[in-house]
A and B are shown apart, each in its own frame.
Chain A
Amino acid sequence: AQSVTQLGSHVSVSEGALVLLRCNYSSSVPPYLFWYVQYPNQGLQLLLKYTTGATLVKGINGFEAEFKKSETSFHLTKPSAHMSDAAEYFCAVISGGGYNKLIFGAGTRLAVHP
């Protein structure tokens, strides 16, 4: 069965600092990987996705993620944090059997300090 592990339930950075949110996946087949963001009292917004092809994926709001098969990782980064980036971030994988059954990690809450 596929699974996702997000390291660190809380991450705190200063405004302007690098953001790094970690995600490792477990999959017996090539995975489809996603990062979503959730702001308070809202649904999930897709930041970026990896399906096939280029391993460095660029998303919205300056975020990007790199798929590393050898490390089974899909870490999310942003060079310079902004106050508006404070939210909860979820890494997800499409399960074996495909279609739209997303398996989510536990989430990482990002705090950005002035």
Chain B
Amino acid sequence: KAGVTQTPRYLIKTRGQQVTLSCSPISGHRSVSWYQQTPGQGLQFLFEYFSETQRNKGNFPGRFSGRQFSNSRSEMNVSTLELGDSALYLCASSLGQENGEQYFGPGTRLTVT
């Protein structure tokens, strides 16, 4: 069974631009969660989508948004990029039951200049 895939793997953007990251979960998984990883703040939860609905949300500004499609694939969008948005963005998929195991993708490394 194929693992979680994320595209693109690397991205360089300029301040003020917007960016869209994509995540394809493991086949049969209905939940996709997104995390931001930075050296200063560590791993922080952004949001979770389950069956096309946002089920949980972290403490990030509204510039960070996401969505999930009917095939469970998910995208996250960051508008008006800031230098501090430079990070590794990880997505994780799971079956969706409470407190279930999550399987992470390799991440997208975003650099904002």
Docked-complex contact A100 and B43, CB < 8 angstroms: no
SS class of chain A's interface: helix, strand, loop or mixed?
A: loop
**Which one, B4, B45, B55, contacts A102 given CB within 8 A?**
B45
Interface segment among A14-22, A41-49, A61-69: the answer is A41-49
CB pair A100 B31 closer than 8 Å:
yes
CA distance A92 to B106 in the complex (A): 18
Closest chain B CB from A87 CB (angstroms): 14
Please determine whether B58 and A49 come into contact, CB atoms closer than 8 angstroms: no
Partner of A43, one of B45, B55, B98, B106: B106
Cα-based distance from A36 to B107 in the complex (angstroms): 15
CB neighbours (8 Å) of B106 from chain A are: 41-43
Q: Is the CB of B101 within 8 A of A46?
A: yes
Enumerate chain A residues within 8 angstroms of B104, measured Cβ to Cβ.
36, 43-45
Q: Which of B56, B94, B102, B103 has the most CB of A within 10 A?
A: B102
